Amino acid sequence: MKHLLTMADLTKKEIKEVFSLAKKLKKENKKNVVHKLLAGKSLGMIFAKSSTRTRVSFETGIYQLGGQGIFLSSNDIQLGRGESINDTAKVLSRYLDGIMIRTFAHTDVEELAEHGSIPIINGLTDSYHPCQALTDLFTIYEYKGQLSNLKMVYIGDGNNVAHSLLLATTKIGMDISIATPNDYRPDLEILHVAERWARESGSQVEVVTDPLQAAQGADILYTDVWASMGDEMEKEEREEAFKDYQVNAEVMNVAQDDAIFLHCLPAHRGEEVTADVIDGEQSVVFEQAENRMHVQKAIMVKLMK
Ligand code: CP
Ligand code: NVA
């Protein structure tokens, strides 16, 4: 693994290695074990979009490993005033040991990786959110003790989070069913990759329009916001399009009795999920949020050590 731009950058074996390191780091973190695995290393963190979890989990994560994180709002660096990604990549590679970037176009992240000489970590683009999907699998493993023979059901927008979940589940061998309105289906090219990976790993992938049909027998229920960062202008039409795509008690009732509920957060109670579900017994969303830090620490060690 040289970069983490999408789930294509990791093999199944590397995913398992990341998880076993994350598990160890999590356990040691609870015992206040101090690490120097990335002593003296610097991670640049470029943000062109807002963030709570990604920013804080990466910054505390690198600090706990003995290194430092440098927050770079794209508005404050010359990138926001038109300096090219190419030049930015070359310059930052002279100072830093790795870059985490959250931005709009996925091609910008690819360009950064192409022209820089240090590892690049995708902290979310319009198309993918691989750190989230890896954390989600890790969290599922903690609760279910397995990753295959499970059915994940994602209800809502066929967005960046849905794309990375499609790739993560099919790579690892988990079944995934996505329920989304026809106009908001996942990107066809990404879906085709997921279908190929599903054939290779022996898992099932389907995209349907009926949330209750999808949710039958689910082991994991997952949803995300109806309007992602960048979709603000479409808020009203999306509220109309997604009004039947909510994880609520009716949906939870057709899932397995021991199903868990996941959400990448931030959540909008009363829209994609009801308060009784996200604040209920089956929800593991805050453990999931915590795990971002442990999993990303493992990713940084793998890429930057
Ligand atoms: N889930 C997630 O990436 O959250 P933030 O937008 O707060 O980073
Ligand atoms: N799909 C959401 C995820 C936020 C973590 C967005 O892109 O805004």
197 and 224 share one domain = yes
Q: Which residue has its alpha carbon closest to ligand 2 atom 7? A: 228
* Percent above pLDDT 90 for the chain: 99
Closest residue by Cα to atom 4, ligand 1, is 53
**Pair (121, 269) in one structural domain:** no
Q: Which ligand has the nearest atom to the CA of 262?
A: 1
> Measured from the CB, is residue 288 less than 6 Å from ligand 1?
no
Residue with tokens 């954390």: 135
Alpha carbon of 292 to ligand 1 centroid (Å): 9
Whether ligand 1 lies within 6 angstroms of the CB of 298 is answered as no
CATH code for the domain in which residue 172 is found? 3.40.50.1370
Domain check: are 43 and 167 in the same one? no
Do residues 106 and 206 share a domain? no
Ligand 2 binding pocket mutation candidate from 101, 160, 265 (most atoms within 8 A of CB): 160
Ligand nearest to the CA of 156: 2
Domain count for the chain, please give it.
2
| Per-residue confidence (pLDDT) for residue 40, from 0 to 100 | 97
Confidence label for 15 from pLDDT (cuts 50, 70 and 90)? very high
Omega before 186 within 30 of 0, i.e. cis: no
Residues 107 and 15 in one domain: yes
Instruction: List residues with catalytic annotation.
Output: 102, 129, 132, 224, 264, 292
In a domain, 188, yes or no: yes
Does ligand 2 have an atom closer than 6 angstroms to the CB of 104? no
Q: Longest C-alpha distance within the chain, in Å?
A: 54
Any ligand 2 atom below 6 A from CB of 135: no
Burial 77-106 (b: 16+ CB within 10 A, else e): eebeeeeebeebbeebbeebbbbbbbbbeb
Residue 242 and residue 255 in contact, taking contact as beta carbons nearer than 8 Å: no
Look at residue 1 in the predicted model and tell me its pLDDT.
81
Q: Which domain holds residue 299?
A: 7-129+291-304
Residues 142 and 115 in one domain: no
Which atom from ligand 2 is nearest to the alpha carbon of 227? 8
Statement: residue 131 has pLDDT above 90: yes
Q: What is the mean pLDDT of residues 263-267?
A: 98
User: Quick one: which atom of ligand 1 is closest to the CA of 129?
Assistant: 3
Q: How far is the CA of 35 from the centre of ligand 2 (A)?
A: 31
Over residues 173-192, the pLDDT tens digits come to 999 999 999 999 999 999 99
Q: Note whether residue 2 is domain-resident.
A: no
Q: Is residue 197 part of a domain?
A: yes
Centre a 10 Å sphere on the Cβ of residue 111 and count the other Cβ atoms it contains: 17
- What order do you get walking across the sheet with 98-102 strand by strand? 68-73, 42-47, 98-102, 120-122
Q: Is residue 274 domain-resident?
A: yes
Does the C-beta of 264 come closer than 6 Å to ligand 1?
Answer: yes
Say whether both 154 and 283 belong to one domain: yes
> Do 115 and 141 fall within a single domain?
no
Instruction: Tell me the average pLDDT of the chain.
Output: 98
pLDDT band of residue 295 (cuts 50, 70, 90) is very high
Query: In angstroms, what is the span from residue 283 Cα to ligand 1's centroid?
Result: 17
What integer is the mean pLDDT of 283-287?
Answer: 98
Average pLDDT over residues 285-293: 98
What sign results for the dihedral spanned by CA atoms 16, 22, 23, 28? positive
Tell me if 1 is assigned to some domain. Answer: no
Residue 209 has pLDDT above 90, yes or no: yes
Note the pLDDT of residue 212: 98
Asked whether residue 103 falls in the same domain as residue 142, the answer is: no
Residue 147 and residue 266 share a domain:
yes
Query: How many A from CA of 225 to the centre of ligand 2?
Result: 7
Q: Are residues 124 and 239 in the same domain?
A: no
Alpha-carbon distances, residue 290 vs 9, 37, 261, 284, 285 (angstroms): 23, 20, 15, 10, 9
Residue 162 structure tokens: 């849905």
Distance between CA atoms of residues 189 and 171, nearest Å: 16
Asked if residue 137 belongs to a domain, the reply is yes
Q: Does any domain span residue 86?
A: yes
94 and 153 in a common domain: no
- Nearest-CA residue for atom 7 of ligand 1: 52
Q: How confident is the model at residue 61 (pLDDT cuts 50, 70, 90)?
A: very high
